[in-house]
Amino acid sequence: MDLSVLPRILTWLPMTKHAHTDIPHGTLGSYVLGFALSIFLTLLAFWVAPQLGTLAVPAIVITALIQLFVQLIFFLHLGSESKPRWNLVIFSITGLIIAIVIVGTLWIMSNLEHLHMMPLTTQELYEDGMVSPAHELH
């Protein structure tokens, strides 16, 4: 997807490029819009999201994700460089690695904690795949 069209559509302003290099940069319009969106999303996250009860956690996470992309597109101009989009490629791999490291760590550590910190019945251990059915027969 060509992310560079987003600010262009939203601001009706052309995204200009340096004549001699490929470094994209914003315009006053795109900065103002990015700033306004960020403020809006921040206020949403601080004032509205925590009031949503059970939906508070997903609401906070989602506003954070949206704001992440707003900043990446309006301030860091991600995706608006000319092809091949190495910045975007490296950024995507980074995102994947971050996901692997954080999710992996949480999975491994919660698994350990589960096993070491809490007294479990054989039935629970079996359900978690920590003992085999043969073990249960004893």
Partner 1 sequence: MKKHDTHEQVSFGLWVYIMSDCILFASLFAAYAVLHTQTAGGAGGAELFDRSFVLIETLILLTSSFTCGLALLAARAKNTVGVWLSLLATFALGATFLGMELSEFGMLVSEGHSWAASAFLSSFFTLVGTHGLHIFVGLSWLIALFIYLGIRGLTPKMSKRIVYFSLFWHFLDIVWICLFSLVYLLGSL
Partner 2 sequence: MFGILTPEAFIHGPIETGAQLIVVGGALSVVLLLTITKRWKWLWTEWLTSLDAKRIGIMYLILAGLMLARGGVDALMMRSQQAVAVGAGTGYLSPDHFAQVFTAHGVIMIFFVAMTFMFGLINCILPLQIGTRDVSFPLLNSISFWLTATGAVLVNLSLVVGAFAATGWLAYPPLSEIAYSPGVGVDYYIWALQISGIGTLLAAVNFIVTIIKERAPGMTLMRMPIFVWTVLGSMLLVLFAFPILTGTMTMLALDRVLGMHFFSTDLGGNAMMYVNLIWAWGHPEVYILILPAFGIFSEIVPVFSQKRLFGYTSMVVATMAIVLLSFGVWVHHFFTMGAGANVNAFFGIATMVIAIPTGVKVFNWIFTMFRGRIKYTVPMLWFMGFLFSFILGGMTGVLMSVPAVDFQLHNSLFLVAHFHNMVIGGVLFGYFCGFAYWFPKIFGFGLNEMLGKVSYWLWIVGFAMAFIPLYILGMMGMTRRLDFVDAASGYHPLLVLAAVGAGIIALGAAAQFICYAVSTFERKRHMDRTGDYWNGRTLEWSVPSPAPFYNFAHIPTVHGRDAWWTMKEKKQTHEAGYQDILLPKNSCVGLLIAGFSFLFGFGMVWHMWWLLPVSLIGIFVTIVVRSFADETEYVVPAHLVKATEQRHHK
Please report, as ranges, the residues that interact with partner 2 according to CB under 8 A: 86, 90, 93-94, 96-97, 100-101, 104-105, 107-109, 111-112, 114-116, 128-132
Instruction: Return the closest-CA partner of residue 72 out of 7, 116, 19, 138.
Output: 7
Q: Three-class SS of residue 118? A: coil
Residue nearer to partner 2 on the CB measure, 21 or 54: 21
Residue 58, contacted partner among partner 2, partner 1, none, CB below 5-8 A by kind: none
Query: In the bound complex, what is the minimum distance in angstroms from residue 118's beta carbon to partner 1?
Result: 13
Chain-centroid distance, C-alpha 123: 37
Q: To 10 degrees, what angle do helices 28-43 and 56-74 make? A: 170
Residue 67, contacted partner among partner 1, partner 2, none, CB below 5-8 A by kind: partner 1
